[in-house]
């Protein structure tokens, strides 16, 4: 389904597993954009705790629970390289203004991404502040130097992190809609609260 015309928020995540922070971000983006698409991907800078297929199933459960027709899961956008994902999105929605959304924790990493300059010149970059990961002025300047058009999104995302759940399983940080998939596949050492 093609989202309505206008700006389109693109939010890729490792979803390893999705957290309450992911849910808050997706719901927040729906308050700012006419349409939001999301997908799970393999991040070459991370070790993953579950295969991509299961992480996509977890993200699908989250998207289904949010239950908003303006939010869609688009697994065909998935690539380990953000620039390839953006090329796929541009081919699919050529008339849309694409806003590639990342959390503030990634702002300093983006310049090291494959073809970061091409990525940043071909879309707007939406930065969502995550509690515990403040945006650094030097990171913002470096992104602008690479050609980024930045949108500092008026969102405050809770400090939950997938990596922390994998290290120290905390059921309180996991959205309830994920439990059927988590338990069926015995993921992340989590047991339902």
Instruction: Examine the pLDDT at 33 and tell me if it is beyond 90.
Output: yes
Instruction: Examine the pLDDT at 43 and tell me if it is beyond 70.
Output: yes
What's the pLDDT band for 178 if we cut at 50, 70, 90?
confident
Helix, strand, coil percentages (3-state) for the chain, rounded to 5, are 40, 20, 40
What's the confidence (pLDDT) of residue 192?
64
Instruction: Examine the pLDDT at 44 and tell me if it is beyond 90.
Output: no
DSSP state of 16: S
What's the confidence (pLDDT) of residue 3?
43
Q: Looking at residues 162-172, what average pLDDT do you find? A: 77
From the centroid of its chain, how far is CA 74?
12
Q: Looking at residues 161-187, what average pLDDT do you find? A: 82
What's the pLDDT band for 169 if we cut at 50, 70, 90?
confident
**pLDDT tens sequence across 111-134:** 999 999 999 999 999 999 998 899
- C-beta separation of 71 from 26 below 8 A: yes
State pTM to two decimals. 0.90
Q: Three-state SS for 21?
A: helix
**pLDDT tens sequence across 58-113:** 999 999 999 999 999 999 999 999 999 999 999 999 999 999 999 999 999 999 99
Residue 179 phi/psi, 5-degree rounding, is: -60, -40
State the Cα–Cα distance between residues 45 and 43, nearest whole angstrom.
5
What's the confidence (pLDDT) of residue 2?
41
Instruction: Examine the pLDDT at 1 and tell me if it is beyond 70.
Output: no
């Amino acid at each position: 389904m093609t989202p309505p015309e206008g700006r389109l928020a693109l939010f890729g995540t490792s979803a390893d597993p999705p957290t309450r922070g992911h849910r808050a971000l997706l719901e927040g983006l729906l308050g700012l954009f006419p349409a939001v698409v999301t997908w799970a991907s393999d991040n070459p800078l991370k070790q993953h705790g579950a295969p991509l297929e299961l992480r996509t199933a977890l993200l699908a459960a989250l998207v289904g629970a949010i239950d908003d027709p303006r939010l869609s899961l688009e697994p065909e956008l998935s690539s380990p390289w953000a620039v390839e994902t953006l090329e796929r999105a541009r081919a699919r929605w050529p008339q849309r203004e694409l806003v590639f959304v990342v959390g503030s924790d990634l702002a300093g990493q983006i310049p090291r991404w494959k073809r970061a300059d091409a990525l940043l010149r071909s879309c707007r970059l939406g930065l969502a502040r995550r509690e515990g990961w403040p945006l650094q002025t030097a990171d913002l300047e470096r992104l602008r130097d690479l050609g980024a058009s930045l949108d500092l999104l008026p969102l405050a995302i809770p400090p939950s992190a997938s990596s922390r759940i994998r290290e120290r399983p905390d059921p309180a940080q996991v959205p309830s809609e994920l439990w059927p998939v988590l338990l069926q596949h015995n993921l992340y050492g989590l047991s339902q609260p």
